[in-house]
């Protein structure tokens, strides 16, 4: 373990991001296309408006518990790579490496590819595109955002601020029209609860929760650029918590709005639930409004992931546990150019091949394995490294991290039970990093 986070922070990156920038990175990454589509998946799994809304509330609270826990680590260890640094400090370099490896190979590229293809499909709403053209458009969007973020963290953050502000306004307008324009009714909220006993809902509730937590995912994103945030002891935890609260409020309100305009049965059968709701209140213009909102949302989400996620292989390489080229920082723009380009290339291959679809379950599975370890790291590091300055301490400690760990373990176990094959592949992809770790560890020792 390092004696102090500053001892490990040998970054050549510049601290240029303030509280607003960090908050918009998280909010913009969390709000992608999911809130426009996932409510239909939730309605199909748990057909009852009150239970559907409860899934979004519980998912938001779970994400907030995780954010409250990890915020302490972000303030204490404001380094590039986020969880890579936290897991390394708490459990040793192998655990940090396995997280970084999984993030580099699967979690982030699969997310970028899936969001980029979603963006391209909604470009097709305005300009007809073939399936090949959709994938080419997806790759073009990845290349454009990668190039933009290579030219400086300030440029990437400013782009993120604009796109995130636009998507927040668009989502608020969508929610407002549901309640203020004719078309909605409290009668549409029936039934509030699905038939059967609560025991019958647990399995479907867990399936719906996976989709919801995918929608909330991104609350940890700003930790990856910890070495580029001004006054990280204050701004990192504030941005993590504030962004999670903003998205929780927007998602719950959107879920209530969709339920108010559409019945649970109609929501379950909707390919694009937000578009169906908007067409009820706005007519044909509603579909165009939602398509434009999704374009902005997906573009902003991918900009946030591309900006931050490349810092993980950069941090690994700086530690001597990855390809040395990934540590290269552009002398003028102060960005990890090689890591950004590599990430863009892997994401583009996944987008062209379509294999990102099969990786989405692996992403949720792998993410929550490491989220649980990170929450546990809060308690472990309080004992193992009490001398480290902690500008922010987890609210509700130790209950907050313990509840989050318990839920994360339940989610992982439920995922294994419901999708054993995908879970086994996810675990295999994580362990696939071990030979690489041993190779780079040996080379570093020489």
Question: What was the pLDDT predicted at 173?
Answer: 93
Measured CA to CA, the distance from residue 254 to residue 173 in angstroms comes to 10
Ranked by mean pLDDT, which of 38-47, 111-120, 134-143, 204-213 comes out on top?
134-143
Asked if residue 287 lies in contact with residue 275, where contact means CB atoms within 8 angstroms, the answer is yes
* pLDDT at residue 252 tops 80: yes
Q: Tell me whether residue 7 is in a domain.
A: no
Confidence of residue 285 (pLDDT cuts 50, 70, 90): confident
Q: What percent of the chain has pLDDT over 90?
A: 58
Token pair, residue 38, equals 């996932």
> How does the average pLDDT of the chain come out, rounded?
88
Does residue 140 belong to any structural domain of this protein?
A: yes
With contact defined as beta carbons under 8 Å apart, do 217 and 59 qualify? no
Say whether pLDDT at 416 is over 60: yes
Query: In the block, which residue shows the tokens 């050549």?
Result: 12
More confident of the two residues 361 and 156: 156
Confidence at residue 308, expressed as pLDDT on a 0 to 100 scale = 95
**Mean pLDDT across 83-99:** 94
Helix H segments across 283-335?
A: 285-309, 311-318
The highest-confidence range among 5-9, 221-225, 340-344, 440-444, by mean pLDDT, is 340-344
* Domain range enclosing 315: 14-445
Which stretches of 77-124 are DSSP H helices? 83-91, 93-102, 108-123
Is 358's pLDDT higher than 80?
no
**CATH number of the domain encompassing residue 132:** 1.20.1740.10
Residue 1 in any domain: the answer is: no
Task: Retrieve residue 267's tokens.
Answer: 């929501």
pLDDT greater at residue 206 or residue 7: 206
Tell me the pLDDT band of 3, cut-offs 50, 70 and 90: very low
Question: 265, 290, 291: which is closest to 40 by C-alpha?
Answer: 265
Lowest-confidence segment of 334-338, 344-348, 352-356 by average pLDDT: 352-356
Q: What is the pLDDT of residue 125?
A: 85
Average pLDDT over residues 411-423: 79
Residue 245, pLDDT > 70, answer: yes
**Nearest C-alpha neighbor of 67 from the set 219, 212, 225, 218:** 219
Stated length of the chain = 446
Confidence of residue 10 (pLDDT cuts 50, 70, 90): very low
Among 33-47, 137-151, 302-316, the minimum mean pLDDT is found in 33-47
pLDDT confidence tier of residue 446, bands split at 50, 70 and 90? low
pLDDT over 90 at 246, yes or no: yes
In sequence order, the β-bridge partners of residue 47 are none
Number of domains the chain is built from: 1
| Rounded distance between C-alpha atoms, residue 115 and residue 357, angstroms | 11
Percent of the chain with pLDDT over 70: 95
CA distance 140 to 153: 20
pTM for the full model? 0.87
pLDDT at 1: 41
Residue 340 has pLDDT above 60, yes or no: yes
> Average pLDDT of 180-206?
80
Question: Quick check: 8 pLDDT over 50?
Answer: no
Q: Does residue 132 lie in a domain region?
A: yes
Q: Grade residue 4 by pLDDT with cuts at 50, 70 and 90.
A: very low
Which pLDDT tens digit goes with each residue over 97-133?
A: 999 999 998 889 988 998 998 899 889 889 999 999 9
State residue 2's pLDDT score.
Answer: 43
Torsion of CA 81, 84, 88, 92, to 10 degrees: -150
**pLDDT recorded at residue 5:** 41
Does position 413 have pLDDT exceeding 80, yes or no? yes
Q: Which two tokens stand for residue 108?
A: 């982030």
């Amino acid at each position: 373990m390092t004696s102090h986070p500053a001892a490990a922070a040998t970054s050549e990156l510049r601290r240029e991001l303030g509280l607003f920038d960090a908050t918009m990175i998280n909010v913009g990454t969390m709000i992608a296309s999911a809130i426009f589509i996932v409510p239909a998946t939730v309605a199909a799994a748990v057909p009852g408006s009150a239970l559907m809304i409860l899934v979004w509330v519980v998912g938001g609270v779970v994400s907030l518990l995780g954010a409250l826990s990890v915020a302490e680590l972000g303030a204490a260890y404001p380094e590039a790579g986020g969880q890579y640094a936290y897991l390394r400090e708490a459990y040793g370099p192998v655990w940090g490496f396995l997280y970084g490896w999984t993030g580099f190979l699967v979690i982030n590229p699969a997310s970028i590819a899936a969001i980029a293809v979603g963006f391209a499909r909604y470009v097709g709403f305005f300009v007809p595109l073939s399936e090949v053209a959709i994938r080419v458009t997806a790759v073009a969007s990845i290349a454009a955002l990668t190039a933009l973020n290579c030219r400086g963290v300030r440029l990437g953050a400013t782009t993120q601020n604009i796109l995130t502000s636009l998507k927040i306004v668009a989502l608020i307008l969508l929610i407002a029209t549901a309640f203020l324009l004719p078309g909605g009714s409290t009668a549409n909220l029936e039934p509030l609860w699905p038939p059967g006993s609560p025991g019958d809902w647990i399995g479907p509730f867990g399936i719906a929760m996976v989709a919801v937590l995918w929608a909330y995912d991104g609350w940890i994103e700003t930790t990856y650029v910890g070495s580029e945030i001004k006054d990280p002891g204050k701004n990192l935890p504030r941005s993590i918590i504030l962004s999670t609260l903003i998205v929780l409020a927007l998602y719950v309100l959107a879920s209530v709005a969709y339920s108010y305009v559409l019945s649970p049965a109609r929501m379950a059968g909707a390919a694009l639930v937000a578009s169906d709701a908007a067409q009820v209140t706005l007519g044909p213009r509603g579909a165009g409004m939602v398509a434009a909102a999704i374009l902005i949302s997906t573009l902003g989400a991918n900009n946030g992931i591309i900006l931050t996620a490349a810092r993980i292989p950069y941090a690994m390489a700086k530690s001597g546990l990855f390809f040395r080229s990934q540590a290269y920082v552009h002398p003028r723009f102060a960005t990890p150019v090689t890591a950004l380009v590599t990430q863009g290339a892997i994401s583009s291959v996944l987008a062209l091949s379509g294999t990102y679809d099969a990786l989405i379950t692996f992403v949720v599975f792998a993410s929550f394995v490491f989220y649980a370890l990170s929450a546990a790291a809060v308690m472990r590091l309080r004992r193992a490294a009490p001398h480290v300055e902690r500008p922010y301490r987890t609210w509700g400690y130790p209950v907050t991290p313990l509840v989050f760990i318990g839920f994360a373990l339940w989610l992982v176990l439920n995922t294994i039970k419901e999708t054993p094959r995908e879970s086994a592949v996810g675990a295999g992809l994580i362990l696939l990093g071990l030979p690489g770790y041993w190779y780079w560890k040996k080379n570093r020792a020489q």
